[in-house]
Structure 1
Amino acid sequence: MYEITLSVPEETALALNLTPEKLTEEVLLAAAVKLYELGRLSSGSAANLAGIPRVLFLSKLAEYGVDTFRLTETELAEDLANA
């Protein structure tokens, strides 16, 4: 596992009204959501990065205005054919 150290100004934590632990969770979730939105991580990998179950991650996407499913019409038809 990689470990990354991130320096966050105290004003940021105070503005967000978060403890250091909650700030860590928030930053990890925001990074995971953005990487998922960009198509860089699958929902499972993004959930793993955020440290939460995949189902919970998928439900959190709406809070960030990110579509849960990004299938094209062709991909959806293929999924239905395989079901």
Structure 2
Amino acid sequence: MKIIKKIEIPEEILISLGKSEDEFIAELKKTAAVRYYWERKLSLGQCAVLAEMSKEEFIKYLTDFNTSIFAFDSVEEFLEDIKNA
């Protein structure tokens, strides 16, 4: 695991959010994981690792953002997936 450059967060932000530094960092990782999953920049497994969750936990977490793991670019792709099931 690589430690990347530290970011500075004003203490007033943490106080306003009612979060500790560790809670804030964990939330940032989860938020980034959801975004990268939406953008299809990382796989489901990679996003789960980034969010420090199991795949199952990450899938459940995605529902908080109205995001499904079943995403299709077209109706044809969806029908093809059903046909191959």
Query: How high is the TM-score relative to the length of structure 1?
Result: 0.81
Structure 2 residues not aligned, in runs of 5+: none
Q: What is residue 39 of structure 1 aligned with on the other side?
A: 40
1:76 to 62, 75, 78: 78
- Partner Cα separation in structure 2 for residue 35 and residue 57 of structure 1: 13
Q: Within 2, Cα distance between the matches of 1:21 and 1:54?
A: 21
Shift of 1:9: 1.4
Please give the alpha-carbon distance, in whole angstroms, between the structure 2 residues aligned to 1:64 and 1:15.
23
Which residue type is aligned with residue 22 of structure 1? E
Give the deviation of 1:49 after TM superposition: 0.5
Q: Secondary structure at the match of 1:52?
A: coil
Give, as a single letter, the amino acid of the residue that structure 1 aligns with 2:2: Y
Structural mapping, 1:1-80, within 5 Å: 1-4=1-4, 5-65=6-66, 67-68=67-68, 69-72=70-73, 73-80=75-82
Larger Rg: 2
Shift of 1:7: 1.7
Please report how far the alpha carbon of residue 17 of structure 1 lies from its aligned counterpart in structure 2 after TM superposition. Answer: 0.5
Over the matched positions of the two proteins, sequence identity in percent amounts to 30
Structure 1 residues not aligned, in runs of 5+: none
- Over the residues paired in the alignment, what is the CA RMSD in angstroms? 1.6
> How high is the TM-score relative to the length of structure 2?
0.80
